[in-house]
């Protein structure tokens, strides 16, 4: 087990290394120079005592832009290993500090969505497989395909129009309501929960269809297996056949699929957080990228690459847990 973990960790670090290098090279190859824009803004500040060229030289030196792409990347990597990702040009604070301030909102949003998605999509996928080609199966399939087909911005706009504008049940945007500071601790909790409801529903509806269809497909394959027919021939109840025999084997391929959901949510939540103005890592990163905040953009993309590799490592370990035939060594 230890050898397996060491190999997977080494492979993950290898992918993170080259993934971050590709991102760094892409940003350095952009036709426009955001460093020049930042230097010009700082030089135009009446309180600044430096000229435009002095600011430009300093920024190029700090962010290793005065050398080639490869030496510059290794300079950035050296600082990143020490936990120094630079200062955000947009927020004028260290990138890691801004990340610590906003990541709890994204974690709460995505973990709640992930849990609700699993609780809904897997049972519905199993139900659709058991009722194959019935009205229930067609209804679940239509619901799943609708979620897969709708763009994020369209679904978010539709939900806001119906539940915020027309019905007035939920706020249009923001993490807290107007009178949040006047509420007690319990009231503030429910105020935030109310504001997070529509973003969670949006993320859930967009991602629930894929897992639901995947569950249905795998359950149908398992239900047509010889050992399931044998179990039924022995007189076992359908409940025992599904829960004890079929579901465990359906769960095996689902583990690999679910490992990609959380990183995909963090990446995809950028649009959702922006539509609802939830101050999470996606919304903040979108604004930073619009303003050409290279230090924050590098950190955010590296964070997504690292999160994906950690999720895949956990999936490999869980695969061995749910399938006794798999041995990691």
Residues 128/137, Cβ–Cβ less than 8 Å: yes
By the 10 Å C-beta count (0-12 exposed, 13-18 middle, 19+ buried), 216 is classed as buried
Nearest to 88 by CA among 245, 293, 261, 329: 293
Element (H, E) at 93: none
Three-state DSSP at 94 gives strand
pTM: 0.79
Angle of CA points 196, 103, 33, to nearest 5°: 115
**Dihedral sign from CA coordinates of 297, 96, 22, 261:** negative
- Per-residue pLDDT tens over the stretch 55-110: 888 878 777 777 788 888 888 888 888 888 888 878 888 899 999 998 888 888 88
* pLDDT (0 to 100) of residue 328: 54
Q: Which two tokens stand for residue 128?
A: 């659709």
Q: How do the domains of the chain map onto residue ranges?
A: 96-291
CATH superfamily of 96-291: MetI-like (1.10.3720.10)
Angle of CA points 68, 71, 77, to nearest 5°: 130
* pLDDT (0 to 100) of residue 185: 82
Mean pLDDT of 189-209: 86
DSSP for residue 67: S
By the 10 Å C-beta count (0-12 exposed, 13-18 middle, 19+ buried), 269 is classed as buried
Nearest to 326 by CA among 231, 257, 253: 253
CB atoms within 10 A of CB 73: 22
Q: Which two tokens stand for residue 312?
A: 């895949």
Q: Which two tokens stand for residue 181?
A: 């500071």
- Per-residue pLDDT tens over the stretch 277-317: 888 888 888 888 877 788 888 898 888 888 888 888 887 77
* pLDDT (0 to 100) of residue 329: 55
Residues 190/171, Cβ–Cβ less than 8 Å: no
Q: Which two tokens stand for residue 235?
A: 């007189």
> In the predicted model, is pLDDT for residue 325 greater than 70?
no
* pLDDT (0 to 100) of residue 326: 59
């Amino acid at each position: 087990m230890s050898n397996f973990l060491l190999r997977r960790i080494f492979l993950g670090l290898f992918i993170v290394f080259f993934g971050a290098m590709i991102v760094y090279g892409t940003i350095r190859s952009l036709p426009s120079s955001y460093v020049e824009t930042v230097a010009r803004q700082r030089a135009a500040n009446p309180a600044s005592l430096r000229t435009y060229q002095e600011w430009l030289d300093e920024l190029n030196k700090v962010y290793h832009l005065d050398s080639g792409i490869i030496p510059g990347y290794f300079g950035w990597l050296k600082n990143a290993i020490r936990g120094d990702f630079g200062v955000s040009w947009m927020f004028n604070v260290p990138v890691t500090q801004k990340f610590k301030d906003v990541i709890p909102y994204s974690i709460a949003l995505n973990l709640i969505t992930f849990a609700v998605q699993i609780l809904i999509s897997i049972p519905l996928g199993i139900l659709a497989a058991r009722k194959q080609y019935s009205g229930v199966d067609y209804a679940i399939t239509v619901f799943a395909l609708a979620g897969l087909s709708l763009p994020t911005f369209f679904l978010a706009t539709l939900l806001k129009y119906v539940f915020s504008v027309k019905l007035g049940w939920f706020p249009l945007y923001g993490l807290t309501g107007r009178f949040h500071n006047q509420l007690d601790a319990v009231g503030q909790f429910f105020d935030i929960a109310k504001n997070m409801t529509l973003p969670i529903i949006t993320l859930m509806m967009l991602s629930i269809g894929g897992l639901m269809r995947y569950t249905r497909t795998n359950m149908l394959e398992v239900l047509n297996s010889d050992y399931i027919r044998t179990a039924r021939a022995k007189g076992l109840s359908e409940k025992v056949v599904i829960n004890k025999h079929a579901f465990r084997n359906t769960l095996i391929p689902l583990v690999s699929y679910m490992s990609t959901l959380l990183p995909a949510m963090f990446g995809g939540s950028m649009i959702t957080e922006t539509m609802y103005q939830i101050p999470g890592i996606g919304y903040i990163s979108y604004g930073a990228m619009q303003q050409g905040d290279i230090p924050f953009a590098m950190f955010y993309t590296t964070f997504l690459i690292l999160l994906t590799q950690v999720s895949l490592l956990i999936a490999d370990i869980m695969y061995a847990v749910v399938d006794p035939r798999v041995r990691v060594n």
